[in-house]
């Protein structure tokens, strides 16, 4: 979770601190004018994203490939459910991962342990057999939950002064994410699709090992950033509120467990199948989110302005889940479309389907600076759209992208293969939608959240992404069961309708935001 880091302690014996006393600071001015520690975190994140996006590019292709071609032979319904559970789990794991770092092991060790566990997960997937496949997915979810939220917090810790320099540091860090995401499908995809699936997974693990090694070597440049916090006495009243929150939390978990048992007995869900687990996972996420919002409204001690702002976050939560439910089709249904119905022959050579997974990262690298400049330029002229308006734009652009896929599906009727430019255009529209919505959502939540509940609210925001990923997997599972024009058309209709409805309420929502733009 992107929480503002507190001052770090240098008394954690598990992680060495560079010379310079008990409060040593990161080395300054050696990486594009930024602390040298940024280079350590930049390349750690680059290799982590290389491993994640490389494996993700192969995941649903491997699960749906025939057994005699080295795959698992799953149907798309089962494969889509597993894909959704995995990508959803990555976001959900960020919450306990952040808690473990804050309360027990510190961010520095959390990132290290997370990287090691991720590498073990990829190497497990490099072994044949469904046991090692599922074990690998579980390990990657656990490791990513430790690494992702804490490495972002460490980047913030490099800039205790805050300000524009910190924003620039995060921009550089974000480039590492997309460089890794761009290179991974080319390297891992080529080996996985052209040579051996398990070799591809193994190379993804090797990338994470390289990230761990350079993280350990470059740790000396981080100063005491990310060390374990010393225990501090709770503020007056904090212990009581924390105890109440824990009681409510345990009660909600108990109710959820009981509800799942009842639904299993009644046959409403089947927790012994991937599809049943995915359905139950969606129920759990929705219930937890509703419980959190209800608790904050009734017992969170919020004033009228904070309650209105919380209601706005609830609206944006729904819109975020809808957006990611469509956007995350990239690794599932759109990846299957690339394999089954796209002409990938280039000068007599058939390009791996996973190569098209590089398009989004390349477009992000190209357009992110343009959007950053555009918002500033519009703001100076009093024309910058509000956060809800940007969300509306993002949803409509996502829907238009799936409108392109409806046309592509009609062109591919009867099993014909179509130009990859259909997918490129779809990814272009989706990328423009992502740049309109994703960074805006994170920023808006930090502005609207009550300061005393910011960490919890960021966790809930990750839940919207988790829910969207879970829905994406379930939708992709209909790839073979539904006519593609109908499938992609339904996603397009929902996204565009949500965007248009939101646009109608931009003004009242802005009033509820209480001065936050």
- Shared-domain flag, residues 80 and 191: yes
Residue 420 lies in a domain: yes
Mean pLDDT of 104-111: 89
Contact 309, 514 (CB under 8 A): yes
Beta-bridge mates of residue 350: 345
**pLDDT, position 2:** 37
| Pick from 18-22, 89-93, 319-323: least confident | 18-22
Model confidence over 132-153: pLDDT tens digits?
999 999 999 999 999 988 888 8
**pLDDT, position 163:** 61
**pLDDT, position 256:** 64
Residue 426 lies in a domain: yes
**For residue 4, is pLDDT > 70?**
no
**pLDDT, position 53:** 94
What is d(CA 139, CA 328) in angstroms, rounded to the nearest whole number? 21
**pLDDT, position 400:** 98
Beta-bridge mates of residue 345: 350
pLDDT band at 92 (very low <50, low <70, confident <90, very high): confident
Mean pLDDT of 217-224: 86
**pLDDT, position 88:** 93
| Pick from 38-42, 57-61, 181-185, 220-224: least confident | 220-224
- Shared-domain flag, residues 202 and 325: no
- Shared-domain flag, residues 505 and 362: yes
Three-state secondary-structure class, residue 482 = coil
- Shared-domain flag, residues 304 and 221: no
CA 239-244-249 angle, 5° bins: 125
**For residue 54, is pLDDT > 60?**
yes
Q: What residues contact residue 385 under an 8 Å CB cut-off, 6+ apart?
A: 378, 393
Q: Which residue among 228, 244, 264 closes a domain?
A: 228
Instruction: Tell me which of 171 and 281 has the higher pLDDT.
Output: 281
Closest by CA to 52, choosing from 174, 185, 176, is 185
Contact 300, 287 (CB under 8 A): no
pLDDT band at 244 (very low <50, low <70, confident <90, very high): low
Q: Which tokens sit at 367?
A: 């357009």
Nearest-Å Rg of the Cα atoms of the chain is: 23
Mean pLDDT of 342-366: 93
Q: Which tokens sit at 36?
A: 């040298």
**pLDDT, position 269:** 67
Q: Which tokens sit at 69?
A: 């071609």
Percent of the chain with pLDDT over 90: 53
**pLDDT, position 164:** 62
Three-state secondary-structure class, residue 349 = strand
DSSP-derived letter for residue 416 is -
**pLDDT, position 296:** 87
Beta-bridge mates of residue 31: 34
Beta-bridge mates of residue 88: none
**pLDDT, position 461:** 87
Residue 399 lies in a domain: yes
**pLDDT, position 23:** 47
Cβ count within 10 A of residue 78: 18
**For residue 253, is pLDDT > 70?**
no
**pLDDT, position 462:** 86
Instruction: Tell me which of 159 and 483 has the higher pLDDT.
Output: 483
**pLDDT, position 249:** 56
- Shared-domain flag, residues 69 and 156: yes
- The count of structural domains within the chain is 2
What is d(CA 2, CA 421) in angstroms, rounded to the nearest whole number? 36
**For residue 268, is pLDDT > 70?**
no
Residue 8 lies in a domain: no
Instruction: Tell me the backbone φ, ψ of residue 382, rounded to 5 degrees.
Output: 70, 25
**For residue 221, is pLDDT > 70?**
yes
- Shared-domain flag, residues 311 and 427: yes
Contact 122, 204 (CB under 8 A): yes
Residue 157 lies in a domain: yes
What is d(CA 203, CA 123) in angstroms, rounded to the nearest whole number? 8
**For residue 33, is pLDDT > 70?**
yes
pLDDT band at 15 (very low <50, low <70, confident <90, very high): very low
CATH number, residue 319: 1.20.1250.20
**For residue 111, is pLDDT > 60?**
yes
**pLDDT, position 10:** 29
| Pick from 7-16, 292-301, 334-343, 386-395: least confident | 7-16
CA 5-442-387 angle, 5° bins: 140
Q: Which residue among 228, 261, 290 closes a domain?
A: 228
Residue 11 lies in a domain: no
- Shared-domain flag, residues 310 and 219: no
Instruction: Tell me which of 396 and 29 has the higher pLDDT.
Output: 396
Model confidence over 276-286: pLDDT tens digits?
888 888 888 88
Contact 370, 488 (CB under 8 A): no
- Shared-domain flag, residues 473 and 348: yes
Q: What residues contact residue 367 under an 8 Å CB cut-off, 6+ apart?
A: 431, 432, 435
Q: What residues contact residue 493 under an 8 Å CB cut-off, 6+ apart?
A: 399
- Shared-domain flag, residues 310 and 215: no
Domain extent, residue 336, equals: 300-517
Q: Which residue among 168, 203, 228 closes a domain?
A: 228
> Within 13 Å and on the Cβ side, how many CA atoms surround 107?
32
- Shared-domain flag, residues 202 and 306: no
Mean pLDDT of 394-408: 98
**pLDDT, position 167:** 67
**pLDDT, position 362:** 94
- Shared-domain flag, residues 224 and 327: no
- Mean pLDDT of the residues in the chain: 85
Q: What residues contact residue 409 under an 8 Å CB cut-off, 6+ apart?
A: 337, 341, 483, 484, 485, 487, 488
Model confidence over 293-330: pLDDT tens digits?
988 888 878 889 999 999 999 999 999 999 999 999 99
Q: Residues in the chain, how many?
A: 517
Residue 247 lies in a domain: no
**pLDDT, position 125:** 96
Kindly tell me the sign of the dihedral angle through the C-alpha atoms of 60, 66, 69, 71. Answer: positive
Closest by CA to 1, choosing from 134, 93, 66, is 93
What is d(CA 181, CA 190) in angstroms, rounded to the nearest whole number? 14
**pLDDT, position 263:** 67
- Shared-domain flag, residues 445 and 316: yes
- Helical segments of 417-483, H only: 421-448, 454-476
Q: Which tokens sit at 512?
A: 């509820």
Instruction: Tell me the backbone φ, ψ of residue 407, rounded to 5 degrees.
Output: -65, -40
**pLDDT, position 107:** 87
**pLDDT, position 372:** 81
**pLDDT, position 502:** 97
CA dist list (Å): 313 to 86, 317, 462: 25, 6, 12
Residue 87 lies in a domain: yes
């Amino acid at each position: 979770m992107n929480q503002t880091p507190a001052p770090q302690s240098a008394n954690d014996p598990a992680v060495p601190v560079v010379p310079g006393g008990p409060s040593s600071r990161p080395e300054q001015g050696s990486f594009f004018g930024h602390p040298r520690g940024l280079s350590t975190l930049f390349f750690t994140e680059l290799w982590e994203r290389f491993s994640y996006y490389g494996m993700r590019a192969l995941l649903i292709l491997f699960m749906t490939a025939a057994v005699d071609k080295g795959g698992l032979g799953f149907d798309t319904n089962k494969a889509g459910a597993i894909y959704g559970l995995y990508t959803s789990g990555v976001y959900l794991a960020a919450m306990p991962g952040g808690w473990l770092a804050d309360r027990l092991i510190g961010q520095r060790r959390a990132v290290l342990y997370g990287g090691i566990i991720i590498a073990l997960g990829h190497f497990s997937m490099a072994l044949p057999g469904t046991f090692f496949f599922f074990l690998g997915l579980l390990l990657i979810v656990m490791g990513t939950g430790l690494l992702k939220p804490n490495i972002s917090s460490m980047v913030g810790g490099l800039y205790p002064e805050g300000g524009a320099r910190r924003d620039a540091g995060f921009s550089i860090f974000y480039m590492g994410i997309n460089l890794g995401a761009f290179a991974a499908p080319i390297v891992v995809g080529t080996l996985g699709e052209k040579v051996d699936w398990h070799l591809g997974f193994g190379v993804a693990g090797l990338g994470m090992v390289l990230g761990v090694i350079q993280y350990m070597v470059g740790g000396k440049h981080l100063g005491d950033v990310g060390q374990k916090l010393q225990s501090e006495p709770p503020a007056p009243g904090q212990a009581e509120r924390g105890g109440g929150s824990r009681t409510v939390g345990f009660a909600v978990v108990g109710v959820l467990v009981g509800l799942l048992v009842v639904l299993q007995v009644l046959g409403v869900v089947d927790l012994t199948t991937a599809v049943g687990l995915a359905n139950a996972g969606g129920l759990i996420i929705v219930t937890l989110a509703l419980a959190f919002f209800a608790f904050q409204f009734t017992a969170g001690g919020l004033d009228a302005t904070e309650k209105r702002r919380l209601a706005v976050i609830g609206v944006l939560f729904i819109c975020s889940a809808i957006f990611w439910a469509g956007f995350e089709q990239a690794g599932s249904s759109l990846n299957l479309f690339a394999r089954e119905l796209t002409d990938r022959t280039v000068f007599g050579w058939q390009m791996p389907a996973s190569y098209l997974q590089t398009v989004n990262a390349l477009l992000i690298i190209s357009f992110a600076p343009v959007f950053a400049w555009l918002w500033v330029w519009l703001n100076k002229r009093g024309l910058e759209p509000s956060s809800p308006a940007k969300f509306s734009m993002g949803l409509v652009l996502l829907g238009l992208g799936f409108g392109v896929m409806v046309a592509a599906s009609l062109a591919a009727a009867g099993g014909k293969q179509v130009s990859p430019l259909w997918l490129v255009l779809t990814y272009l529209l989706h990328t423009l939608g992502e740049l309109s919505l994703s960074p805006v959502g994170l920023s808006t939540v930090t502005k609207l959240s009550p300061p005393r509940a910011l960490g919890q609210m960021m966790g809930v925001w990750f839940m919207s992404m988790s829910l969207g990923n879970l829905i994406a997997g379930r939708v992709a599972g209909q790839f073979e069961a539904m006519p593609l024009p109908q499938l992609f058309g339904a996603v397009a209709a929902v996204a565009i309708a949500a965007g248009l409805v939101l646009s109608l309420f931009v003004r009242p929502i802005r009033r509820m935001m209480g001065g936050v733009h």
